[in-house]
A = this chain, B = another copy of it.
Amino acid sequence: MLKRTYAVSRPEQAAVRRLGSLARLTEHDLHKIEQAAADAHFLPARTEIVREGAEPAKPTLLLRGWVAQQRILPDGRRQIAGFTLAGELFGRNWSCQERALTSQVALDDIVLCAAPEAQPGSGLFEAYERERLAQRLQLIDNITRLGRMDARERVCDLLLELLERLQRSGEAEGNTFAMPLTQECFADALGLTPVHLNRTLQACRRSGDLSWRSGKVTLHDPIGLARSLGRRSNRL
């Protein structure tokens, strides 16, 4: 109860935790984050923040909710290339980028603000660099999932990644986290059909790997699961 109030009154909490876990932040850095978060914007679920091919978003800090990077093929197939979670960054990373490589879509009701500028050499700057590196790692992990894992492995591997990221920004409670995604979205991230994902999830539940009820996911033994998948963690 108290905790919830605290979180609401400090919308930048997840971002501070995440960036602080990537690099040592000074008081000055923290102040800049707080200042940026003071000018936050709310967007409802399903908002398309950026459309693929259009002007890319400026560097943005996601304070609350989840955002997906997605592509739509001409015949309507959708692929989600990655997620941005509360506390993480998205948006243009390179000065020369003229067009967004993917659409950015709010999967949830979200709150975001402009990412504060960082001077080279500052802790914040280093955190941004590590964040970009983490994004690259996630893309490569996704390629490995889609290319060489079967449905059960894809489901577990992605849930492990999400748990790890949410723990880093303090958004998980133990091995449980709030899952705002619809099964259809999750399937589009995993390259599966909603129907097949549904059956795969049931198999995972029956084998005791996870539970997913009323928007909460619990991984019952993340460490053992990661080992059985051959997934290495914390590789930054």
In contact, B97 and A133 (Cβ under 8 angstroms): yes
For residue A1, CB closer than 8 A to chain B, the reply is no
In contact, A143 and B142 (Cβ under 8 angstroms): yes
Q: Which residue on B lies nearest to A137, using beta carbons?
A: B101
- Taking A133-B94, A133-B97, A235-B53 as contacts, is the C-beta distance between A147 and B79 under 8 angstroms? yes
Q: Pick the residue among B96, B130, B236 that contacts A130 (CB under 8 A).
A: B96
For residue A84, CB closer than 8 A to chain B, the reply is no
The residues in A between 88 and 138 inclusive whose CB is less than 8 angstroms from any CB of B are: 93-99, 101-102, 126, 129-130, 132-133, 136-137
In contact, B101 and A191 (Cβ under 8 angstroms): no
In contact, A95 and B53 (Cβ under 8 angstroms): no
Chain B contacts of A97 at CB under 8 A? 133
B-contact bits for A9-28, CB 8 A (1 contact / 0 none): 00000000000000100000
Chain B contacts of A140 at CB under 8 A? 69, 71, 81, 101-102, 139
Chain B contacts of A147 at CB under 8 A? 79, 146, 188-191
Q: How large is the interface on A (under 10, 10 to 19, 20 to 34, 35 or more residues)?
A: 35 or more
Measured in the bound complex, the distance between the Cα atoms of B143 and A190 in whole Å is 10
In contact, A78 and B129 (Cβ under 8 angstroms): no
For residue A39, CB closer than 8 A to chain B, the reply is no
Measured in the bound complex, the distance between the Cα atoms of B169 and A69 in whole Å is 30
For residue A144, CB closer than 8 A to chain B, the reply is yes
In contact, B144 and A79 (Cβ under 8 angstroms): yes
In contact, B235 and A73 (Cβ under 8 angstroms): no
17 residue pairs from A and B, CB less than 8 Å apart:
A73-B144, A73-B230, A74-B230, A75-B230, A79-B148, A81-B144, A93-B136, A94-B130, A94-B133, A95-B129, A96-B130, A96-B133, A101-B235, A136-B136, A146-B147, A147-B191, A148-B191
